[in-house]
Every structure is written in structure tokens, then in C-alpha cells.
Structure 1
């Protein structure tokens, strides 16, 4: 009877977890791209859509039948806001998920939003960690700090490790 070498198993486990993370991230970013390209881009990128809320309601009803309950009027309006907040797809980051972008859309300052986006991608913040940093004014603390490295290091010490299961719960909309 052979005994499984723990280090061998550990290596296999790490490979599988890494692959799972890559698949989750790729799937979620593909959905982010689909959201970005959806409603507003197909309407010519108009900030104020001429089609009004009646069309959004009709689109919501039809998409809910075809794709499930996540395509409510409010979610479609979030998709519009997403496009208007991030008009250049090339500036977006494949490391962030839809839930990250939903938080970032509500950061008023373009500079602060970009800072959060970059820090989040660089440090691998979870959605919960990004939300905590926005609410604790990380950007403002970083700007006013003499020691920017210490402010960033503080965040890493308080960030909980993200599990693969946390990455995608629903490929359409993730509301963590």
C-alpha cells in the first residue's frame, strides 16, 4: 500500500487552485466585457438614451426570460452606468470582477476611481476589501500621507485572503 507524499499532493492542489482561479477570472471578465458592450454601445454611446425607461423595462423582461432573474431594470441601468463611467474598455483591468466595477462606478472622482482600480488590481483586493478602502477614504489618506508605502502595507495586513469560491458565485451578477 503506497502512501501519498504530502508535498506531491500540495503541488497538485496548488496547480488546480491556480487553474480554477484563472478560469473564474476569465469568465467574470468576459461578462464584464459583455456588459460593457451591451446596452449603451449598441445605442451609439449616448449618455442620455433616447429610448427611455420603457425600452429598458422591455429589454429587462425579455432578458430575464432568456438569461434569468439577474437582468432587472436596476441591473440594466447599472450596466449603462458602467459604460458611461468606463467609456474606454482598454483602461479596464481583467483582474477585477463585475462586483469591483459596481463599487468603482460610485466613486465620484475620476482620479480616486483610477487609484482604487490600480491598487485593487495590484494588491488583489477582494470586493469586501475594496469597499472597506473606499469607505475608509484610502485615496485621501494616501494623498495626505508622508509615507505612502506604509499606508499600502497597512491594507495588506488587514486584507483577508480570498478563496476561489469567492471569485464567482453567479457568472451574470455577483453581489458580494
Structure 2
């Protein structure tokens, strides 16, 4: 009877997998058809507008009239805003084959609000790679992720960023300066302590991991390090599965001081000797603070061989 029950459970699981795959494929197919249709609508509108007599006949009222008439005939989905973005979809992707069918219309609607073709391409690639929801995409655009990453990238690098998305190839690629943590909901004018910031990050760990980027796996908070009879506490410990190394994060409420850099260097030396396993690369330390003095940082890090990275935390307070 146990064998029969086991086989029956396998049958149910197998059917469940087929249903999930079928539903997923159906959604993808519907979405792909919708994107193609909206692209074609955009093309029709552009071809109509480019006709010499169009502007004289309709002027700026074209979208308004189209919205009213199409909504009356076909229902919702034909607001002036939607129609204008269908046109923008066509203008941004003159070749329909270049459209990504992994994204929904809601993704495209948000991405097409951005400033340049480079930015559009970047967010499309990131959505594909990171499988962002529309909500997460909106958060990343609002936090100016593309601009933050592009600030430290040369022209060739910006083009690569737009065409391939953000690739984590070395420790420096982990840094976004600043990290934007608006999801912490810290009230305006509130003076937060380091342990309070840590509590907020842990409570919003999923959002924090999304802001950190792909590859981070959370290990521990307040990780204890014992050296020579003295005990230290590292705020947050992660492992990065792409770089294959530990990532140590310490949180600073105010300015990042030279003593903070020295302490992080101590932690990294400890992890290299005591915690790293065979196959692990050297650990990386990240100090997150409210601000930093660039000259002080230059002198404090110039002779350090360990990877100590510094970034500003931008906390957007709630009203």
C-alpha cells in the first residue's frame, strides 16, 4: 500500500509540474502576443502621424480622440498615456525582433519613462537577468541604479552596461554609491543608531539583498570574531556565490573613519586565515556610512592589500 501511495503522490506531483509549466507558457505566450500587438499599434500611429495631412487634421488631439474611440469600441487599455507609450515602444525598437518577450507591458511602460536608449537597454537586461517584478523595477529606477553604476564607468563601460546589464566580475562591482535604502521607513528627523539601522536591514532583508544585487547569500548578523582573547562583532556577514568569497559589512551611522577601515582590515585578515575554505577567494569588506572624506580614505587604504570598499548609504526618510 505504501508503494501504491508513493506512486500516486508521484502522479499528482507530475501532473502539478505539467500544469505549472503549461500555465507559465500560456502566460508567456499571451504576454508575447500583447507586446507584439502594442508594437504594431505604435507603428500604425506613427505611420499615420507621418502622413503629411495628419497634423493639419488632428494636431495634438490625435491621442485624445484615439483614446476615446478605441475605449468605446474595445474597452480598457487605450488611455492617452498607454497609446503614447505604444508609440514610444515602436520608436525605441524599430525592429520588432529586438523586443524582449520575457518582460510584461507593465515592465516596458516603466522602462520607457527613462531618459535614454542606454538606460532603456540597461533596465531591460537587468529585468531579464534578475527577474525583477514591476514593483522592484520601479524602485530601482527611482533609486537611479543606472546612473549610480554609470558614474564610475567609462563611456565604453556604460555601453557595455546598457547592452549586457550589470555583471559582477570583481569586488568593485559590488559597490553602488550610494546604496539607496528608502524601504527602511525611518521617520524624517529621526536620529538612528547603528544597531537600529542593522535591525531595520534585517527586518527588510529581502529588499536589502535586492539593493545589494545578485549573488549575495545572508549568513549571519553580529558575527562574533575572537582574536587574542578579545571579542569583536561584525554587523552583517554574507557569502557571494558568483565571486566565491565572504563579504563582510559594517554599518556606520556617521562618517566612515580611518579606524573603521583598520578594523575592517583586521576582520579580513582573520577571515582569510580562520574562516575561508578551500576554493574560496579572498574576502571583501564593505563599510557603509553616511559620508566619507575622500582624502582620508585615500591615505587610510593606500597600503592595504585587502579589498576594503566604502559606500554611502542614502536613507530616504518617511514623512
Residue 153 of structure 1 pairs with residue 215 of structure 2: yes
> Residue deviations 1:84-136, cap 9 Å, x none?
23333222101111001001101113222211101211232221222222223
Moved more, 134-143 or 12-21: 134-143
Match of 1:82 among 77, 86, 89: 89
1:46 to partner: Cα distance: 5.5
How has the CA–CA distance of structure 1 residues 52 and 19 changed in structure 2, closer, same or farther, with 3 Å as cutoff?
farther
Q: Distance in 1 between matches of 2:10 and 2:60?
A: 58
| Structure 1 match to 2:243 | none
Structure 2 unmatched runs, 5+: 153-170, 176-211, 218-319
Match of 1:14 among 1, 12, 17: 17
- What is the TM-score of this pair, normalised by structure 1? 0.71
Match of 1:122 among 120, 129, 132: 129
| Structure 2 match to 1:64 | 71
SS at match of 1:38: helix
Residue 24 of structure 1 pairs with residue 27 of structure 2: yes
Q: Assess if the C-alpha contact under 8 Å between 2:42 and 2:89 holds in 1.
A: no
Q: Assess if the C-alpha contact under 8 Å between 2:31 and 2:105 holds in 1.
A: yes
How has the CA–CA distance of structure 1 residues 109 and 146 changed in structure 2, closer, same or farther, with 3 Å as cutoff?
farther
- What is the TM-score of this pair, normalised by structure 2? 0.42
Match of 1:106 among 83, 105, 113: 113
Larger-Rg structure: 2
Equivalent residues, number: 154
Q: Which is helix-richer, 1 or 2? A: 1
1:77 to partner: Cα distance: 2.0
Q: Assess if the C-alpha contact under 8 Å between 2:45 and 2:87 holds in 1.
A: no
| Structure 1 match to 2:285 | none
Q: Distance in 2 between matches of 1:94 and 1:119?
A: 14
Report the aligned-residue RMSD. 3.0
Q: Distance in 1 between matches of 2:116 and 2:87?
A: 18
| Structure 1 match to 2:37 | 34
Structure 1 unmatched runs, 5+: 156-176
